[in-house]
Structure 1
Amino acid sequence: MTRLFLRASGLLLLAGCLAVPIAAVAQSGAGVMRRAAAPDPVAPIGISIRADGLVGTWFPPASGRRSPAILVLGGSEGGEESSKHIATALATKGYGVLALAYFRADGLPKAFQEIPLDYFERAIAWLVAQPLADRRHLGLYGISKGAEVALLVASRHPEFTAVVAAVPSSVIWQGFDPADYRVVKSGFTDHGVPLPYVPYDNSAAFSGILDLYQRSLAHADHHPDAIIPVERIGGALLLLSARDDKLWPSTLMADQIMARLDAHHFVPVHQHIAYADAGHGSVGPGGDRAPNGPYENVGGTIAGNAAAHADAWPQTIAFFDRNLGRPAQ
């Protein structure tokens, strides 16, 4: 395994082996100043998917040839906006990409509660059935709550040969309903049965959402069945975390994931890159995250977030290229 810790001033390599939903925090704050993105060589064209109860957008490989395919899962904002942004960035590299909504979209759950895992099974089946998707080389990308979903799905589907979990969770959390935070349910079901989860500790006042997650995570050992069995993942794994994450303790949870993999003698490549002075919104493809915008409310300095943006996405592409094979463009 490898752990990397990055700072704005350079790179240090160390080798070694809810009361409030996330989206509510990420979307608060002042107006957004957009960072200019590098122009894409060809703007990918997405195809809206509304089949078998799925809601998503498919970006076929621009080459018109069979290519590695990646399933993308956004975070607690729900809908497709986040996953489409990430999928577009991946599609410019030649991959076939399915951006999948899994709640807060037409016909899908309105809350992040009791989301059926068979929905993701149908999405995988749809993806591998595409003539231009190489089912032997499947990738999975999830960010924030989408990383929680991605690790859970990958632990049940070893056919994924490369998985990226950005600002991830090590456990299944209690679900949330923005319309009524008093409702306590699991985030997921398996054939109608709610999965075990780590509940939010509301036993005392908390200073912020990070405090709530840290306090709740301390009780994870009391809910062992809620710990994601990442050792069952069948392919390479890249974890990206933010050491100044003000939303949830992504670096701590990524370290827990790495420790579990090592304890189970996990053979495939697994790597954790932790970005110093970076916040929760700093490790995606960038291009639309403002240094003075609402994402500064979830941690990091301007320099630290910029450094993380500059490194994390190239690391992501290089990881997929190594473990899926670089697609023709």
Structure 2
Amino acid sequence: MKRKWKITLGLLGALVVVGAGGAAWMIVQPPKPARIVDAGPTGQRVANNGILANYFPAQGSDPSPAILLLGGSEGGLGKDMHALALLLQAQGYHTLQLAYHNAPGKSAKLKNIPLEDFYKALDWLKRQPQVDPNRIGIVGYSKGAEAGLVVATRYPGIRAAVLGMPSSVVWDGMSGENYLLGSFSSSWSEKGEPLPHLAYKGRPGADGLMPVFVNGLKEVSANPAAVIPVEKFEGKLMLICGEAEKLWPSCPMTDQIVARAAKNAAPAPVVLRYKDAGHGVMGAPFTDAKTRRSWTQLGGTEAGNAAARADSWAKISAFLHAELGTKATAD
């Protein structure tokens, strides 16, 4: 998400100062291709039937649970989620890290991404010989958490979802035309039609995009169809957020998800909140100082983000074990 945030913030800043001609040129430019990380020795690349992913099968011959793993708006198959995929694999989960935009064969911009891409990935997972099709979960963060919650409310049989830095609503597509000209596209589509979505409002602040989302949320009562109906998810839900978030208001949106679940008599989500963490609150525990410093640009302190990742991973592991099975300890 960090790389995408820098690109987006730079685009927004440029759109404020350039003339109409320059702005029009910038709008049509696709983002730079996202990094595609190799699956490595314990994984394999999947590239068929519209699916582009890295697959990490678990050890053992008995049918085991599986996880659909969704990164954020960085696109492609990023390094951060690759590290989490390896941890999930080691815990005994067949893990499919899915590329859903800004990758070969996918939309360059994160707008009107077909939900059918996620459905096909889940169908593929369930067909694998060693996967127990009755024990499927979704793990995602940021835009992947937004997609994950939408999919969990629409695709039957998802037993558990772990969503970091989540969204309570479907947002506009992430593209220049949306930021500059208004609400032109949704982030997601189904059967060729964009999902109802909430528009960005205002301009970014000195620290980033936060005001755009905060102001957008103020309009939610005028567009209730953009709210993700968490009560339609029949599985168990864990939400993770950092109170020092700088990118978007993930803790307030977490509160909105919890409130909607309560209002509709749905099971209460498990919530992990971390005071000194930001948009790097969830993921594989940090193993190097450079990565820790990079995520701190999106809020929180280095120590706070590192502690949150370590603590949340242990609790994610226990939660998934309780809902899907396999080992309970965090490696």
TM-score, with normalisation over the residues of structure 2? 0.83
Look up the match of 2:97.
Answer: 99
How far residue 131 of structure 1 moved from its aligned partner, in angstroms, is: 0.6
Between the aligned partners of 1:93 and 1:228, the Cα distance in structure 2 is 30
* Contact 1:67/1:328 (<8 A) preserved: no
Q: Which runs of 5+ in 1 are unaligned?
A: 1-19, 28-42
Residue deviations 1:193-218, cap 9 Å, x none? 1111000013x664431122111111
Look up the match of 2:81.
Answer: 83
Between the aligned partners of 2:8 and 2:173, the Cα distance in structure 1 is 16
* Contact 1:26/1:295 (<8 A) preserved: no
Report the CA distance shift for 1:179/1:290 in structure 2 as closer, same or farther (over 3 A): farther
How far residue 64 of structure 1 moved from its aligned partner, in angstroms, is: 3.3
Between the aligned partners of 1:55 and 1:167, the Cα distance in structure 2 is 24
Counterpart amino acid of 1:197?
H
Q: Which moved more, 1:178-187 or 1:126-135?
A: 178-187
Look up the match of 1:24.
Answer: 7
Between the aligned partners of 2:255 and 2:205, the Cα distance in structure 1 is 24
Between the aligned partners of 1:259 and 1:205, the Cα distance in structure 2 is 27
Between the aligned partners of 2:220 and 2:161, the Cα distance in structure 1 is 24
Counterpart selection for 1:142 from 137, 140, 143: 140
How far residue 286 of structure 1 moved from its aligned partner, in angstroms, is: 2.3
Look up the match of 1:51.
Answer: 48
Q: Which runs of 5+ in 2 are unaligned?
A: 11-39
Residue deviations 1:32-86, cap 9 Å, x none? xxxxxxxxxxx97111001111000111111233101010000000001143232
How far residue 133 of structure 1 moved from its aligned partner, in angstroms, is: 0.8
Counterpart amino acid of 1:69?
A
* Contact 2:149/2:230 (<8 A) preserved: yes
TM alignment of 1:90-129, pairs within 5 A: 90-129=88-127
For the pair 1:163 / 2:161, whether they are aligned, the reply is yes
Report the CA distance shift for 1:23/1:99 in structure 2 as closer, same or farther (over 3 A): farther
Report the CA distance shift for 1:247/1:141 in structure 2 as closer, same or farther (over 3 A): same
* Contact 1:63/1:328 (<8 A) preserved: no
Residue deviations 1:164-219, cap 9 Å, x none? 010100000001126985463111111011111000013x6644311221111111
Between the aligned partners of 1:200 and 1:178, the Cα distance in structure 2 is 11
TM alignment of 1:1-329, pairs within 5 A: 22=5, 24=7, 45-81=42-78, 82-177=80-175, 181-182=179-180, 184-202=184-202, 206-207=205-206, 208-267=208-267, 270-288=269-287, 290=289, 293-326=293-326
How far residue 124 of structure 1 moved from its aligned partner, in angstroms, is: 1.0
How far residue 89 of structure 1 moved from its aligned partner, in angstroms, is: 1.5
Counterpart amino acid of 2:186?
S
Look up the match of 1:36.
Answer: none
Between the aligned partners of 2:197 and 2:4, the Cα distance in structure 1 is 16
How far residue 310 of structure 1 moved from its aligned partner, in angstroms, is: 1.8
Counterpart amino acid of 1:56?
A
Report the CA distance shift for 1:168/1:48 in structure 2 as closer, same or farther (over 3 A): same
Look up the match of 2:19.
Answer: none
Report the CA distance shift for 1:328/1:205 in structure 2 as closer, same or farther (over 3 A): closer
Report the CA distance shift for 1:328/1:287 in structure 2 as closer, same or farther (over 3 A): closer
Report the CA distance shift for 1:139/1:218 in structure 2 as closer, same or farther (over 3 A): same
* Contact 1:111/1:178 (<8 A) preserved: no
State the number of aligned residues.
293
Counterpart amino acid of 2:168?
S
Look up the match of 1:14.
Answer: none
TM-score, with normalisation over the residues of structure 1? 0.83
Between the aligned partners of 1:26 and 1:293, the Cα distance in structure 2 is 19
* Contact 2:82/2:97 (<8 A) preserved: yes
Q: Quote the sequence identity (%).
A: 38
Which structure has the highest helix share of the two? 2
Report the CA distance shift for 1:217/1:328 in structure 2 as closer, same or farther (over 3 A): closer
Look up the match of 2:34.
Answer: none
The DSSP-based 3-state class of the residue aligned with 2:266 is: coil
* Contact 1:68/1:327 (<8 A) preserved: no
